[in-house]
Amino acid sequence: MMDCWRLDPNPLLIDIHLCNMSSTYDFLASDSAENGAGIQSQSYVPVAYNDAELLDAYSRAVVTAAEKVSPSVVKIDVTQRVASRRGEREAHGGGSGFIFTPDGLILTNSHVVHGATRIEVSLNDGRQLLASTIGDDPATDLAVIRIDGPGLVPVPLGDSQQLRVGQLVIAIGNPFGFQYTVTAGVVSALGRSLRSQSGRLIDDVIQTDAALNPGNSGGPLVTSDGRVVGVNTATIMMAQGLCFAIGINTAKFVASRLLRDGRIRRSYIGIEAQTAPLHRRLVRFHDLPAETGVVVLSVENNSPAAQAGLREGDLIISMAGRPVAGIDDLHRLLSDLPSGMRTEVAILRRTEKLTVSLVPQEPAES
């Protein structure tokens, strides 16, 4: 079996600046006229740039983007009821967000507002307004809340698929309560995956070295033209320059579903499972596309999996004709499959390959 290497489709863009150059280069260009004229000499003088001019251009890009987006960035303060040994008590937290419609819809992180009993939003002009939750999705760590007020300024949304590694990006938020803090950096990598608090993978995550700190969560990641391309969400503790944002294309999809349904509808089959390796002999004998699958650890009573006859120890290797190499593949498929539609699932039971038919359902609590 040949090894397949996947090439990154996003080319690295490098701007090369020639600084403090004063020399003149002469190039010869041939002029093939009908009368056989000889070679003419042309002179080329490169434009000289100095560091100050380049830094001024960089500063202007950051300043322009920050001034354009800052009126739409909000500070979010939340109150939650949490259980403790002495009973329930109030806990306070917060984060950032940004207005993306004129009627006061705000996009932020799910972990900022999930379970909040009170949400207060502070605007750039000093106003403080109460907000209500439209919906939140812990699986993608995104949420939509709403405020009512005049003169709200929405921020333009960009296209995260057009980002390139090395591109300038600016993060705006409220780290540690310091309002409207701006940091700048570049896109370090694209197509990362980040595990959410629900255990599911968030795909197409943007990695950047623009500094993020607690309180930046939910704030916008913008390009130099002032368009939002990501929702800041996480950093890796004890690491420098490893910060992540959810692509705005994912956020657009999630926000539209939250506005329509108040939640993201995902199917479930009622099993507890984990990724497990497959024996090489089984992989070769059944000509399987992957050397791993999903092993069923337990099956819920009266669940779709139980009704289909799945048992503890079964190995799921495909669903709806698509290979399942791990638990994350299964999560993605269940997110895409509509509930109530009969689906074929290929499994390995001991050494035998079987196909069972089950009907994924929407869980009672969503």
334 burial via Cβ count (<10 Å: 0-12, 13-18, 19+): middle
Mean pLDDT across 75-86: 86
In this prediction, residue 10 carries a pLDDT of: 45
Residues 6+ away with beta carbon under 8 Å from 73 = 96, 97, 98, 124, 155, 172, 173, 180, 219, 220
pTM of this structure:
0.71
Our CA angle for 113, 220, 228, nearest 5°, is: 130
Residues 6+ away with beta carbon under 8 Å from 258 = 134, 135, 136, 137, 142, 143, 144, 264
pLDDT exceeds 70 at position 21: no
Mean pLDDT across 160-176: 90
* Options 2.30.42.10, 2.40.40.20, 3.40.50.2300, 3.40.250.10; CATH of 271-358: 2.30.42.10
In this prediction, residue 74 carries a pLDDT of: 94
In this prediction, residue 106 carries a pLDDT of: 96
pLDDT exceeds 60 at position 86: yes
In this prediction, residue 220 carries a pLDDT of: 95
In this prediction, residue 29 carries a pLDDT of: 41
Which residues participate in catalysis according to the annotation? 111, 141, 217
Residues 6+ away with beta carbon under 8 Å from 212 = 171, 173, 175, 183, 232, 234, 235, 243
pLDDT exceeds 60 at position 103: yes
Report the sign of the C-alpha dihedral through residues 213, 191, 273, 300, in that order. positive
In this prediction, residue 237 carries a pLDDT of: 64
Mean pLDDT of the chain: 83
* Options 3.30.450.40, 2.40.10.120, 3.40.50.720, 2.60.40.1930; CATH of 46-264: 2.40.10.120
pLDDT exceeds 50 at position 279: yes
Q: Note whether 211 and 191 are within 8 A (CB).
A: no
CA-closest candidate to residue 111, choices 231, 283, 224, 273: 231
Our CA angle for 179, 181, 182, nearest 5°, is: 155
Asked if the domains at 46-264 and 271-358 fall in one CATH topology, the answer is no
Q: Note whether 116 and 170 are within 8 A (CB).
A: no
pLDDT exceeds 60 at position 18: no
User: 5 or 68: whose pLDDT is higher?
Assistant: 68
pLDDT band per the 50, 70, 90 thresholds, residue 364: low
List pLDDT tens digits, range 193-245.
888 877 777 878 999 999 888 788 899 999 999 999 999 997 776 666 788 99
Residue 312 is encoded by which pair of tokens? 């503890």
List pLDDT tens digits, range 256-270.
989 988 888 888 899
pLDDT exceeds 70 at position 66: yes
Mean pLDDT across 332-347: 88
Mean pLDDT across 340-355: 94
Domains of the chain: which residue ranges? Answer: 46-264, 271-358
List pLDDT tens digits, range 123-136.
988 899 999 999 99
pLDDT band per the 50, 70, 90 thresholds, residue 45: low
